[in-house]
Structure 1
Amino acid sequence: MNDRPAQGLRERKKARTKALIQKEALRLFREKGYAATTVEQIAEAAEVAPSTVFRYFATKEDLILDDQFPTFIHELRTAPADLGPVAAMRFVVRTVMAVQSPEELAEGIERERLMFTVPELWAANLENIVGAVSGIRDVLAARAGRPPSDPEIRNVTGAILGVIMAVWLDWSADAELDGPAVLDEALAHLEAGLPLR
């Protein structure tokens, strides 16, 4: 007998449990504050054992850290080859954000807000930021047929990530901002050479 459907069901159940734990953690962090919320409270709200929380998230900080980077890198690698670096990033941002529901986008920006305002989370996220810079630089270099150490690859990577970070900061400070649209406009401005009109 083929057990593939059972594996699929098990994986879907795991994904639902993980999403529920993270959703309840975000709710509690919003209501009580990050420092005042315990893993035990999160487990109780999600109706799981504390050990289950730790099975999905090794640390309390991991409840907030974004795990979409592998998807983003995959989309960047497979973006149309004729697109330049900034156009490719615009393509990827549109692609990744288009498949997210409004609730997922709101949860993502709430996680970003916490990462920017809670010192422990900012410190924990630094490793992710370094990994993102390196990963994006490597893919952009490969797309251009250049080594990752090329100064022009470094510069374009820094410019792209600087624009994205600036928008994320604004979006995390103003939840009403149409983040995807503003991000697309900002990358279009970068692609145009950042003219001051």
Structure 2
Amino acid sequence: MTSPGLREKKKARTRRTIRENALRLFAAQGFDPTTVDQIADAAGVSPSTFFRYFATKEHLVVDDASDPWMVEAAERLPEGVAPITGIRTAILAVMAEVDEPRDDMLLATRLAFTEPALRAQRMNHVFATQEAVAGVLTARLGRDPGDLEVATFAAAAVGAWGSALWAWAREEGRRPLADYVDRAMGFLEAGLEL
């Protein structure tokens, strides 16, 4: 694996700066009242630069959400391991590599789950994540792309992930996110017995 070049590092730094400043503004004055111009000004970039990195203000929160970690976890599934066991192990490994500040992630998660403008976009993102996870699994398991059982598994795994994420945010990150994820995935792995 090659390390990112100078240009990629600068782009990642600019993206992170825009997002961090936006989240700070959202925390101070709310999501709706905060404008793209205010975000760009706080980040020290032009509005056109903002739009090179984020299609909309909503994308800034939802597209940087952690659902892609589920797809990465599915891609990392070890051979010969039951999918739920593999997903559970892989998602915890992916999370251990993330360096996003906890408070930024908490705020973004709360916004994605509570702001009306973001909830609908989050649901679209969830469906896309489910389809991506199902796509990875059907290819890996040699199943048909429209396999109902694989689609159901992907929906359950992404749902468990979302439940863990929301519980973590609701409880203000009282415990590490990995604890919530491990518990939710363990419940799924045990067969959802109540």
Normalised to the residue count of structure 1, the TM-score between the two structures is 0.86
User: Equivalent residue for 2:177?
Assistant: 179
Query: Do residues 42 (structure 1) and 39 (structure 2) align?
Result: yes
Out of 151, 156, 159, the residue aligned to residue 153 of structure 2 is: 156
Q: CA deviation at 1:102?
A: 6.3
Q: CA deviation at 1:70?
A: 5.2
User: Equivalent residue for 2:18?
Assistant: 21
Q: What letter corresponds to residue 19 of structure 2 in structure 1?
A: Q
Q: CA deviation at 1:25?
A: 0.2
User: Equivalent residue for 1:194?
Assistant: 192
User: Equivalent residue for 1:60?
Assistant: 57
Task: Determine if contact 1:66/1:111 at 8 Å carries over to the other structure.
Answer: no
Task: Determine if contact 1:140/1:153 at 8 Å carries over to the other structure.
Answer: yes
Distance 1:48 1:177 in 2: 35
Query: Do residues 141 (structure 1) and 177 (structure 2) align?
Result: no
In structure 2, the residue corresponding to 1:76 is in which secondary structure? Answer: helix
User: Equivalent residue for 1:87?
Assistant: 85
Task: Determine if contact 1:79/1:92 at 8 Å carries over to the other structure.
Answer: yes
Distance 1:96 1:146 in 2: 25
Distance 1:102 1:53 in 2: 20
Q: CA deviation at 1:113?
A: 1.0
Task: Determine if contact 1:65/1:125 at 8 Å carries over to the other structure.
Answer: yes
Normalised to the residue count of structure 2, the TM-score between the two structures is 0.87
Q: CA deviation at 1:69?
A: 5.2
Task: Determine if contact 1:76/1:139 at 8 Å carries over to the other structure.
Answer: yes
Q: What letter corresponds to residue 38 of structure 2 in structure 1?
A: Q
- Percent of aligned pairs with the same residue? 38
Where does 1:95-110 land on structure 2 (aligned, <5 Å)?
Answer: 95-101=93-99, 103=101, 105-110=102-107
Larger Rg: 1
Query: Do residues 116 (structure 1) and 118 (structure 2) align?
Result: no
Q: What letter corresponds to residue 54 of structure 1 in structure 2?
A: F
